[in-house]
Amino acid sequence: MLGISAIVACSSGQRKNGRTDTYSSGAVQIASDESFSPIIDQEKQVFESIYNQATVTPIYTDEISALKMLMDDSVQLAITSRRFSDEEMKFFTSRELEPKQIALAYDGLALLINRSNNDSCITVDNIRKILLGEITDWKQLNPANKLGDIQVVFDNKNSSTVRYASDSILGGKDIKSPNITATNKTADVIDIVEKTPNAIGIIGSNWLNDQGDTTNLTFNRHIRVMAVSKMPTATVSNSWKPYQGYLYNGNYPLVRTIWALLNDPYNGLPWGFAQFIASPKGQLILFKAGLLPVQGNITIRDVNVNN
């Protein structure tokens, strides 16, 4: 009895915050950038069907808020599109904590246009000029295009999408487009583009898959997805859409990594859920959702189609 009492007392002392979750049981909240909500919902559904004593509740917010919740110890897992910064690592290690970061998948940053807009190819350089406000009208891209001002639509002003555009496309410069809109969620971006002929929406490609298409090749049929070129001039032959194969071979230029950031010293349910997403079963879910998983055997084949 004395030995058992000592073990219980030690365990209680280790969990002063009241957590009782284990690797595969209990109830926890996690934070995620809202742009990843479709894939996190799918991972949660399968995870909880396997571990029926576990409940994972995602809080979908912007990337800045998700990181703040992790730093404040409000959650122990955040799903983001970036790693910990040096300052964030110092914050944790100064408190004798050992944060973890796990690469989960690669996501294409997709550019959406209205179906009435036929200018479906664009260069990376022109995307940069649009975001900097140097190109403001569709006729600057194509003199025959009469749609007028280019309306740029993001999901959230603090989202991972905005940060990627600033850091990776603009090299750290601020977005200066005079006609820019930030909505509250990704679904609103798609809705605006569907209704606005002159709009460009910028979202994560995991939102675009047609749920009836198991090949992940059609995207959402209510909008048009632009093909992006690294070359000075965009043509059909040198421009690519964010299909998995083009993320894999490097043809598609706008790619970001999805990360699981952890501050879970007990290796409890947040750690278990993150490890599940990184496992073969979790990686297969990502693949079927249209993302490029970090782990897994992927074969790309060239197919010739004869009419």
Are the beta carbons of 107 and 255 closer than 8 angstroms? yes
Full domain range(s) for residue 67: 22-105+257-293
112 and 223 part of one domain? yes
On whether residue 305 sits in a domain, the answer given is no
* Whole-number pLDDT of residue 16: 57
* Mean pLDDT over each residue of the chain, to the nearest integer: 88
On whether residue 230 sits in a domain, the answer given is yes
On whether residue 303 sits in a domain, the answer given is no
Mean pLDDT of 46-67: 97
On whether residue 2 sits in a domain, the answer given is no
On whether residue 300 sits in a domain, the answer given is no
40 and 96 part of one domain? yes
- What's the token pair of residue 307? 């009419």
Q: How would residue 219 be classed by pLDDT, with cut points 50, 70 and 90? A: low
The helix or strand, by DSSP H or E, that contains position 187, with its residue range, turns out to be helix 186-195
On whether residue 4 sits in a domain, the answer given is no
Where do we find the tokens 């197919």?
303
Q: How would residue 200 be classed by pLDDT, with cut points 50, 70 and 90? A: very high
Is residue 222 pLDDT above 90, yes or no? no
Q: What is the pTM of this model?
A: 0.86
Query: In this predicted structure, which of 2-11, 22-31, 64-73, 271-280 has the lowest mean pLDDT?
Result: 2-11
250 and 264 part of one domain? no
More confident residue, 14 or 8: 14
On whether residue 299 sits in a domain, the answer given is no
CA end-to-end span of the chain? 79
Beta bridge partners of 32: 60, 79
Q: Is 16 exposed, middle or buried (0-12, 13-18, 19+ CB in 10 A)?
A: exposed
Q: What is the pLDDT of residues 79-96, one digit of tens each?
A: 999 999 999 999 999 999
**CATH number of the domain that 288 lies in?**
3.40.190.10
* Whole-number pLDDT of residue 15: 56
* Whole-number pLDDT of residue 1: 33
- What's the token pair of residue 140? 């600057």
State how many domains the chain has. 2
61 and 71 part of one domain? yes
Interatomic CA distance for residues 253 and 92, integer angstroms: 33
Q: What is the pLDDT of residues 254-267, one digit of tens each?
A: 999 999 999 999 99
Mean pLDDT of 267-284: 97
